C-alpha cells in the first residue's frame, strides 16, 4: 500500500524547508541556518576559496537535515496519496428511501448498503450481516464479516459490501472519517512532538546556547593572545560543536517510528502513544485469540454416575442443536453431526444468557441444559472432574437433564506456539505480562503456566480491567492493552497504550490511541518492540552525535591556535595539512555524517530484547566509541582531498 518517494521529490521538499519559519522549529538547525547566511554574506563581500567553501558546506548541512525529514515525510505522503485514491464519492440510501450524497450524511443517519455498493461513511452495523471488502484500507484481500449486535459491527467508509444487506448507523461527520484521519496522520499533518522529543529538543537547545556563549567568549581571549579569529572560523567552530547530527535527524526518527507502525497496518493516533509503547511496564493480553487460538472445541464426553456414554452424547447433542457458537458446533460434530429431526424441531430452544450461564432445549417433559459448572449443583465426583479439566487448562461444560447432571464436556483451547519464548523476551526487557480472561481461576492458572505469563486475571469483567490498570498506574507503571468491544472502551481510554481492533466497535476505536487494521491482538507485542526501537534509535544517535563532537575539537581548536601556542600542535593527532583544511574538513564531515545516518534514522537501530543496563553498555560501546573514532578517520580522509584545493592546502 506504500511506495517509496523519489529522491528528486525529497530534494525539492528539502529546498522548500530552507524557509526560516520552518527552521525555527529546530533551534539547533536554525543556528546552523543563521550561521550559513552570515558566512554567505562574508563570501560575497570578501570572497575567498575558504570562505566560499565553508558557506557552501554549511548550507549543505541545513539541506541534508531537511532531506532527512523530507524522506521520512515522503513515505507518509506516498501512503496518504494511496489512501486518497481509495476514497470514493458514494451516494447513500437512507432507510426512509431518500438518496443523498455521502458528504451530506449526519451522525445518527441510518443507511442501507447492499451487495456491490460502497459504504458511504464510518458507522456501526445495526441490522443484518454481510461480507465486506476492506482491502483498500488494510491491504488484505480476504473479505471480512461485519454484523450487528457484537464486537464486529464497525464499518469504514469507502469499503465495499460483497454480499447480503446491512443497515449502518453513521458515527462520523463528513471529512472526519477514519480514512480522513489516516491521511492526515500518515502524511504528518497532525504529528506533534512527543514528551521525550520535546525534552531532548530543550536539552539540545541548552547545549547550543552554552556553546554559542563559549564561542562568543573565545574571541576576546584570542584578541588578547594576538590571534584574532575571523567570523567565518568562529561560525564553523560553533556549527561543529553544537549537536547538529541529532538535531538534524530528530524529526525524521519520530516520523519513521510512526511509519514503521503504518507498515504493519497499525495506525497510531499520536506520536506519544508510539513513545509510550517503548516505555511499557505492564502488558495486558486477552487469553482468547491472543495467547490461545481461541477456537475452543469439544474434545471429550465424560459421563458421571450411572449415565452411559451414549446417553450423555445424545443429551449434549440435543442441548447444542440451536447453539451456533463455535463451541456448540464442535459439540455437534463430536456427537456425530446428525441434524435435528422434525420432532426435535418442535422443542423450545433456550438461548444462553449471562444470568443463567446455560443454554439448551425443552422437549416435552425433558429439560436439557448445558453450561458453566457454577450454574449446576454438582456431586463430589462431578466436581472432581470439573476441577481436573480446569486444572489441565480445559473448559468444562456440564450437561444435565431435569436438573440431574449427566456428565461433563471437555472444551480444549491451545496455546499458540512460541508464546512462552516471546513472554520470556518481554520479561528480559522488564515488562510484566498479565493474561486477562473470563475463565475460572483454575483454567486461567493452567493456561497462564503453559503460556509463561507472569500473572493472570480470571473471570474478568470490564470494571476489573479498569481496576487492574489503575492499580498498575498508581505504582508508576505504564500499561498497554488491546480491546474491540464497547465494554473495553473505558479500559482502552485508561491505558497508556490502548490498541483497538479495526473490527471492533466505534466506541473502542475512539477510546484507544492506536488502531490495528488487521485486528490481530498479538500485534501488541510488536507495537511494544517498535516503540522500544524508536527510543533506542533516538538514544543511539544522540550518543553518537555528542561523542563525535569530541573528535572535532581535535581538528579545529589546534588549527585555530597552533600559530599562537605551538604546543597545541601536539593535539593535531590527525596531522591535518593547514588550519584552513582542518576547519573545512570538519565542516564537510559534519554535513556528510547526516547523510550517512539518514538510512539508520529511518530504518531504526536493530532491536534486541535486553535489559536497560545492557542497552546502555551497547550504546556506549557501539555508538559512543564509534562516535569518537569515526570522525577521526572521516576528517583525516577528507583532509587528504581538501589539501589539494588551491588556496586551502
Grid coordinates given for 130: 454481510
Q: Is 327 part of any known ligand binding site?
A: yes
Euclidean distance between the first and the last CA atom of the chain, given in angstroms as a whole number: 52
**Are the CB atoms for 347 and 434 separated by under 8 Å?**
no
562 close to 572: Cβ distance less than 8 angstroms: yes
Domain with CATH 3.40.1110.10 in the chain: 293-415
**In sequence order, what DSSP letters do the residues of 59-105 get, joined into one string?**
HHHHHHHHHHHHHHHHHHHHHHHHHHHH----EEEETTS-EEEGGG-
- The dihedral formed by the CA atoms of 65, 68, 74 and 75, expressed in degrees to the nearest 10: -160
Task: Answer whether residue 294 shows pLDDT above 80.
Answer: no
Q: What is the mean pLDDT of the chain?
A: 83
Position 190 scores a pLDDT of: 45
Q: How far apart are the C-alpha atoms of 587 and 612, rounded to whole Å?
A: 35
Q: Are strands 297-303 and 160-161 parallel, antiparallel or unpaired?
A: unpaired
pLDDT of residue 625: 87
Residue 293: all three cell numbers together = 487460538
Q: Which of the 8 DSSP states describes residue 424?
A: H
91 CA to centre of own chain: 34
| CB proximity list for 205: less than 8 A, separation 6 or greater | 27, 28
Please give the CATH number for the structural domain made up of 105-173.
Answer: 2.70.150.10
- Joined together, the cell numbers standing for residue 623 give 555508538
Q: Quick count: other Cβ atoms within 10 Å of Cβ 441?
A: 14
Has 354 been labeled as part of a binding site? yes
Residue 186 has pLDDT above 80, yes or no: no
Pairwise CA distance, residues 523 & 96, whole Å: 41
Q: For residues 475 and 496, give the distance between their C-alpha atoms in angstroms, rounded to a whole number.
A: 14
Quick one: what percent of the chain has pLDDT higher than 70?
A: 89
More confident position, 331 or 504: 331
**Beta-sheet strands, E only, within 144-244:** 144-147, 154-155, 160-161, 165-170
Pairing of strands 479-483, 455-457: unpaired
Judge whether 357 is annotated as a binding position.
yes
Over 90: is that where the pLDDT of 70 sits? no
- Pairing state of beta strands 160-161 and 123-133? antiparallel
Angstrom distance (rounded) from CA 601 to CA 69? 10
Rounded to whole angstroms, how far apart are CA atoms 458 and 434?
10
pLDDT of residue 5: 47
Greater confidence, 570 or 10? 10
d(CA 562, CA 439) in angstroms, rounded, equals 77
Which one from 109, 122, 151, 286 is the annotated catalytic residue?
Answer: 286
Contact 123, 171 (CB under 8 A): yes
Cα–Cα dist 523/529, whole Å? 10
Active site residue 286: yes
| Cell of residue 397, nine digits | 461444560
Residue appearing with cell numbers 456428565? 407
Beta bridge partners of 298: 411
pLDDT-derived band at 80 (thresholds 50, 70, 90) equals low
- Concatenating the DSSP letter of every residue in 250-300 gives HHHHHHHHHHHHHHTTEEES-HHHHHHHHT--EEEEETBTTTB----EEEE
Q: Is 353 annotated as a binding residue?
A: yes
The residue among 341, 360, 275 whose CA lies nearest residue 536 is 275
The predicted pLDDT at position 89 comes to: 61
pLDDT at 309: 93
Rounded to whole angstroms, the Cα distance separating 417 from 428 reads 19
Residues 6+ apart with CB under 8 A from 164: 114, 115, 128, 129, 130, 131
Return the CATH number of 293-415, one of 3.40.1110.10, 3.40.120.10, 3.30.1490.20, 3.40.1400.10: 3.40.1110.10
Helix axes 244-263, 579-603, angle to 10 degrees: 20
48 annotated as a binding-site residue: no
Tell me the Cα Rg of the chain.
33
Contacts of 599 (CB under 8 A, 6+ apart): none
pLDDT of residue 566: 75
**Distance between CA atoms of residues 475 and 210, nearest Å:** 37
Of 49-58, 192-201, 542-551, which gets the smallest average pLDDT?
192-201
pLDDT at 97 over 90: no
Query: Rounded distance, CA 187 to CA 184, Å?
Result: 6
d(CA 419, CA 403) in angstroms, rounded, equals 41
Nearest-CA neighbor of 512 among 530, 545, 488? 488
Model confidence at 38: pLDDT above 90: yes
Nearest to 75 by CA among 294, 331, 244, 261: 261
Q: Taking 90 as the threshold, does the pLDDT of residue 647 lie above it? A: no
Whether 488 has a binding-site annotation, put simply, is yes
List, in sequence order, every residue forming a beta bridge with 455; answer none if it has no partner.
434
Architecture label for domain 266-291+416-517: 3-Layer(aba) Sandwich (3.40)
Residue 548 to residues 350, 379, 594, Cα–Cα distance (Å): 74, 76, 12
Domain with CATH 2.70.150.10 in the chain: 105-173
Residue 516: pLDDT over 70: yes
The total of other beta-carbon atoms located within 10 Å of residue 315's CB is: 24
- 404, 326 Cβ separation under 8 angstroms: no
308-328 mean pLDDT: 88
- Among the residue ranges 83-97, 252-266, 390-404, 513-527, the one predicted with the least confidence is 83-97
All residues at 6 or more sequence positions from 310 whose CB lies less than 8 Å from its CB, including other chains: none
Give the C-alpha distances (Å, rounded to integers) separating 357 from 263, 347, 354, 388, 394.
Answer: 42, 20, 5, 20, 17
Q: Mean pLDDT over residues 380-403, rounded?
A: 88
The average pLDDT across 299-326 equals: 89
Instruction: Look up residue 306 and give its three cell numbers.
Output: 450411572
* CATH 3.40.50.1000 location in the chain: 266-291+416-517
Split at pLDDT 50, 70, 90, the class of 140 is low
439 is in an annotated binding site: no
- The percentage of residues in the chain with a pLDDT greater than 90, rounded to a whole number, is 16
Lowest mean pLDDT among 27-31, 480-484, 535-539: 480-484
User: For 192, which DSSP code?
Assistant: -
Amino acid at each position: 500500500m506504500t511506495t517509496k518517494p523519489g529522491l528528486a521529490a525529497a530534494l525539492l521538499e528539502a529546498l522548500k524547508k530552507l524557509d526560516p519559519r520552518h527552521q525555527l522549529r529546530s533551534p539547533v538547525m536554525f543556528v546552523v541556518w543563521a550561521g550559513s547566511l552570515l558566512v554567505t554574506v562574508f563570501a560575497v563581500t570578501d570572497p575567498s576559496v575558504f570562505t566560499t567553501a565553508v558557506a557552501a558546506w554549511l548550507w549543505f548541512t541545513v539541506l541534508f537535515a531537511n532531506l532527512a525529514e523530507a524522506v521520512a515525510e515522503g513515505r507518509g505522503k506516498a501512503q496518504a496519496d494511496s489512501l486518497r485514491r481509495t476514497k470514493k464519492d458514494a451516494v447513500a440510501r437512507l432507510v426512509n428511501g431518500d438518496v443523498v450524497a455521502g458528504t451530506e450524511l449526519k451522525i445518527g443517519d441510518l443507511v442501507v448498503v447492499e451487495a456491490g455498493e460502497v459504504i458511504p461513511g464510518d458507522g456501526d452495523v445495526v441490522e443484518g450481516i454481510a461480507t465486506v471488502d476492506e482491502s483498500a484500507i488494510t491491504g488484505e484481500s480476504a473479505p471480512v464479516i461485519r454484523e450487528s449486535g457484537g464486537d464486529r459491527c464497525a464499518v469504514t467508509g469507502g469499503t465495499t459490501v460483497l454480499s447480503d444487506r446491512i443497515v449502518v448507523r453513521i458515527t462520523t461527520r463528513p471529512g472526519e472519517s477514519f480514512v480522513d484521519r489516516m491521511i492526515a496522520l500518515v502524511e504528518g499533518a497532525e504529528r506533534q512532538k512527543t514528551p521525550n522529543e520535546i525534552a531532548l529538543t530543550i536539552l539540545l537547545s541548552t547545549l547550543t546556547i552554552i556553546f554559542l556563549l563559549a564561542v562568543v567568549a573565545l574571541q576576546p581571549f584570542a584578541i588578547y593572545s594576538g590571534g584574532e579569529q575571523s567570523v567565518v572560523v568562529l561560525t564553523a567552530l560553533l556549527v561543529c560543536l553544537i549537536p547538529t547530527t541529532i538535531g538534524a535527524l530528530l524529526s525524521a526518527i519520530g516520523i519513521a517510528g510512526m511509519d514503521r507502525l503504518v507498515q504493519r497496518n497499525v495506525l497510531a493516533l499520536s506520536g506519544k502513544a508510539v513513545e509510550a509503547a517503548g516505555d511499557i511496564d505492564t502488558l495486558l493480553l486477552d487469553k482468547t485469540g491472543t495467547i490461545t487460538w481461541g477456537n475452543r472445541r469439544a474434545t471429550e464426553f465424560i459421563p458421571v454416575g450411572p449415565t452411559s456414554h451414549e446417553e450423555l452424547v445424545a443429551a449434549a447433542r440435543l442441548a447444542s442443536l440451536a447453539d451456533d457458537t463455535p463451541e456448540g458446533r464442535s459439540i455437534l460434530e463430536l456427537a456425530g453431526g446428525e441434524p435435528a429431526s422434525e420432532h426435535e424441531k418442535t422443542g423450545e430452544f433456550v438461548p444462553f444468557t449471562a444470568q443463567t450461564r446455560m443454554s439448551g432445549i425443552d422437549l416435552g417433559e425433558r429439560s436439557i441444559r448445558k453450561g458453566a459448572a457454577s450454574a449446576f449443583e454438582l456431586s463430589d465426583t462431578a466436581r472432581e472432574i470439573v476441577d481436573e479439566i480446569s486444572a489441565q487448562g480445559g473448559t468444562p461444560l456440564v450437561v444435565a437433564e431435569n436438573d440431574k447432571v449427566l456428565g461433563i464436556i471437555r472444551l480444549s483451547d491451545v496455546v499458540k506456539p512460541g508464546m512462552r519464548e516471546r513472554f520470556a523476551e518481554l520479561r528480559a526487557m522488564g515488562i510484566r505480562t498479565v493474561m486477562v480472561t473470563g475463565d475460572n481461576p483454575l483454567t486461567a492458572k493452567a493456561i497462564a503456566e503453559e503460556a509463561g505469563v507472569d500473572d493472570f486475571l480470571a473471570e474478568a469483567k470490564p470494571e476489573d480491567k479498569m481496576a487492574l490498570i489503575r492499580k498498575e498506574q498508581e505504582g508508576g507503571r505504564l500499561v498497554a492493552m488491546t480491546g474491540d468491544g464497547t465494554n473495553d472502551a473505558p479500559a482502552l481510554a485508561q491505558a497508556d497504550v490502548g490498541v483497538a481492533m479495526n473490527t471492533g466497535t466505534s466506541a473502542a476505536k475512539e477510546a484507544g490511541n492506536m488502531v490495528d487494521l488487521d485486528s490481530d491482538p498479538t500485534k501488541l507485542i510488536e507495537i511494544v518492540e517498535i516503540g522500544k526501537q524508536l527510543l533506542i534509535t533516538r538514544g543511539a544517535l544522540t550518543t553518537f552525535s555528542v561523542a563525535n563532537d569530541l573528535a572535532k575539537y581535535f581538528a579545529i581548536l589546534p588549527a585555530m591556535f597552533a600559530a599562537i601556542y605551538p604546543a597545541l600542535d601536539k593535539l593535531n593527532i590527525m596531522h591535518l595539512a593547514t588550519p584552513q583544511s582542518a576547519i573545512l574538513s570538519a565542516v564537510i564531515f559534519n554535513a556528510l555524517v547526516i547523510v550517512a545516518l539518514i538510512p539508520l534514522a529511518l530504518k531504526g537501530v536493530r532491536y534486541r530484547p535486553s535489559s536497560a543496563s545492557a542497552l546502555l553498555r551497547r550504546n556506549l560501546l557501539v555508538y559512543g566509541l564509534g562516535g569518537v573514532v569515526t570522525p577521526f578517520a572521516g576528517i583525516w580522509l577528507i583532509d587528504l582531498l581538501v589539501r589539494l584545493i588551491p588556496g586551502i592546502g
